Chain A
């Protein structure tokens, strides 16, 4: 009996250890080590901090870095502002019968590849796009307007692609909110804004935290949306990483950038967890 117990334990442990150490821990240690390697004047590989020095000396690098972080935060805020009323409507206002249908409808677009969704926006918004066609037809504009390749469109694209990860946790958080609390507050003549501020948002805090962390992470690490909707001036940090790896073939510099991005995302998520007093395990569940 005892030996059987141990055998099964090792049977479960071995694949998990292999997975986590070979595919998660080792590669990231390698990433860290390689980010401190570089060629000296003689062309030999030596230990160096040049890769990090480049990041701080070259303004374009840290400008892109800060810009990416700020825009990811803006995206998270926009997603929250949009997702709150939507999930409130579905949970508390929609008729019970339409509710299931609306939820399914809400989830469907997110099963489709991100590339297809971004492509859809591109053919809607570009200069020869569908929206411009209708604007010209109705005479609202005389010249076609290029609506792609600017920051607002890029943020909208990011909000669109990560929407789901805010709506789902908010819906499940709101489902546990007792209607009678809102009724009581309303009987006591609290305004809608007060109810929102003192009842709904505090109750949904766990959902908001997990949604915000996932959305932030996805926006920060996104490559497709900034690249295709933001165009040449999107200046997203993942594009810098891509350029170092694929275009300049400077893997050590790219490793340093990758590690910086990893540190940034870990820090912001850590701060978010501290502020809301949650643990990663709770958020994931």
Chain B
């Protein structure tokens, strides 16, 4: 049944076979996408017509490679900017919320903690529509009462950032809190006995200790933001992020340029994932 027990041959073999099938199931779609990015064809399908880099570097007009595809490049850049701001904001607020829930005592703490976890169980689509509605209500209110038109309240870049920030912060809080729980508070107390203020102690001692977890959380936040679809869908304005832009192309018929973007995405995220994994391994040691 397990390693330390004698297992019948049939049992081991069938289990191994099952695992191999599972991994094929896991990787088949990704592998096919990557391979077809290099097919010399106008459609993302077989037969194999030979190796070609057209869908990366061809300048068009018949085949427009990704490095010349302004629309897709712009959406990649938008996604980068969005993810950058979301990562920064959610890391700062998430770390604050860790200190608040781990080290402070105040009335209604359990209620607030429950509220902090709520974004985990709110479907992304709902978060998107409620933010859209609230922003719209706020915009109407400001316009009617103060006569000012606030751009933030219309579907736009910053509304997308706020929407993603609203639930990614919860994930950051959970990732960082795992490490903060292991922190020995007597270190902070020692610093404060030696004359540091609480804020100085947090800045010089606790944040130094938390650094690997904070960096890891920022990386996770960046990736989650870069890939978010559900919440973004309702908040996006005239600058679509990459997932939205890809979705529109896939829905309305696709060219292999999507395969080449996917390949770049797979390569990029795998690198980021491996780096993150490497650092979290180091943290454990």
Contact = CB atoms under 8 A, between A and B. Distances in A.
A108 interface: yes
Interface stretch (A21-29, A52-60, A147-155): A21-29
A130 B46 contact: yes
B191 interface: no
A123 B123 contact: no
A31 B45 contact: no
Interface in A96-133: 104-109, 111-124, 128-130, 133
A223 B229 contact: yes
A258 B126 contact: yes
B174 interface: yes
A220 interface: yes
Contacts of A168: none
B223 interface: yes
A129 B234 CA distance: 31
For B18, B118, B126, B234, the residue with the greatest tally of chain A CB atoms inside 10 Å of its CB is B126
Interface in B96-142: 96-97, 99-100, 104, 106, 112-127, 129-134, 136-137
Contacts of A129: 45
B43 A119 contact: no
Given A121-B29, A255-B129, A26 B134 contact: yes
Q: Which of B2, B137, B230 has the most CB of A within 10 A?
A: B2
A71 B169 CA distance: 30
A276 interface: no
B26 interface: yes
B120 A30 contact: no
A74 interface: no
A109 B177 CA distance: 26
Contact of B32 (A11, A28, A123, A269): A123
Contact of B115 (A20, A183, A241): A20
B246 A115 contact: yes
Contacts of B125: 221, 223, 238, 241-242, 258, 261
B121 A265 contact: yes
A64 interface: no
Size class of the contact patch on chain B = 35 or more
A133 B126 CA distance: 40
B137 to A, nearest CB: 6
A31 B130 contact: yes
Tell me which of B33, B163, B258 has the highest count of chain A C-beta atoms within 10 A of its own C-beta: B33
B129 A92 contact: no
Contacts of A109: 26-27, 30
B115 A120 contact: no
A13 interface: yes
B162 A186 contact: no
A77 interface: no
B9 interface: no
Contacts of B28: 120, 124
14 contacts: A8-B197, A9-B100, A16-B96, A16-B100, A23-B162, A27-B130, A85-B18, A106-B26, A113-B243, A119-B250, A120-B33, A130-B46, A222-B230, A284-B174
Interface of A: 1, 4-5, 7-9, 11-13, 15-16, 19-20, 23-28, 30-31, 34, 82, 85-86, 89, 92-93, 95, 104-109, 111-124, 128-130, 133, 160, 163, 179, 182-183, 186, 192, 195, 213-214, 217, 220-224, 227-228, 238, 241-242, 245, 251, 254-255, 258, 261-262, 265-266, 269, 280-281, 284-285
User: Would you list the 6 A-B pairs with minimal beta carbon distance, nearest first?
Assistant: A221-B123, A120-B29, A27-B134, A27-B130, A23-B166, A31-B130
Given A23-B163, A186-B5, 6 more contacts: A12-B99, A112-B266, A116-B262, A192-B1, A213-B121, A242-B233
